[in-house]
Amino acid sequence: MVTRGQDRYITQNDYFRRLSRVYRKEMAGFCHVCPATPVLPLNPSRMKPAIESEEMYMSTEENARTIRRIYDELWNGRKLAVADDLIAEGATNYDTGLLPIPFGPEEMKGTIRMVTAAFPDNRHEVEEVIAEADTVVLRCTLTGTHEGPFMGIPPTGKRIEVTEIHIYRLKGGKAVEHRVGRDDLGAMRQLGVIADAIPEPGSAPRASAANTPE
């Protein structure tokens, strides 16, 4: 390809070499003569998305720490007063039932007292915490030895290990809603209250603790 200039033809390479020399000359003059470009102040409206993103990240991290404290300090540490800092008044607990039940600080303290009376060595081993905005999911394993009455079941001395997945929604740094998926059937089997659904081949049906003669 060629480009016509000053009544003669020049090659494309010659054209771009000349253009490059002119550009360098002009830029050299610009750098030495033109004043430095003033630095404009940042537009607050452009900074807002970044600030909001940072605040959301910090809030998410704080929510995760709040729910972790429910198990580290409230359940495992038996620091019942901490419930006032972590659970909102009027919070709702859906648990495994269909109807919501109250889940305020006092209800939480009562639940911990009841479980601890039946399983004095109960402990929640936290295995995973996932947080997104105002929602936190926590997966844990509950262990304990049945040494006191529990929901009408006399002490069996047996040890249980129950998997749990808790879902919390938070507002203002406190839990306002709780849902849980928990292996209650497995816990009843471990306590001997109900027999295994599928007995071993060739074995006789196992009687439940409730049907075992005294």
Question: Model confidence over 48-79: pLDDT tens digits?
Answer: 554 455 555 569 999 999 999 999 999 999 99
Please report whether residue 132 resides in a domain.
yes
Cα atoms in the 13 Å half-sphere on the side-chain side of 10: 12
CA distance linking residue 96 with residue 162, whole number of Å: 14
pLDDT of 132 strictly over 90: yes
CATH number of the CATH domain containing 129: 3.10.450.50
CA distance linking residue 134 with residue 25, whole number of Å: 59
Please report whether residue 38 resides in a domain.
no
Please report whether residue 193 resides in a domain.
yes
Q: Could you list the residue range(s) of the whole structural domain that residue 81 is in?
A: 54-200
Please report whether residue 12 resides in a domain.
no
**17: enclosing H helix or E strand:** helix 12-33
CA distance linking residue 214 with residue 54, whole number of Å: 64
pLDDT tens per residue, range 171-204: 999 999 999 999 999 999 999 998 865 555 566 6
Global pTM value: 0.67
Q: Determine the average pLDDT of the residues in 129-148.
A: 97
Please report whether residue 188 resides in a domain.
yes
Q: What is the mean pLDDT of the chain?
A: 80
Number of domains in the chain: 1
Predicted local distance difference test score (pLDDT) of residue 99? 84
CA nearest neighbour of 185 among 193, 176, 175: 193
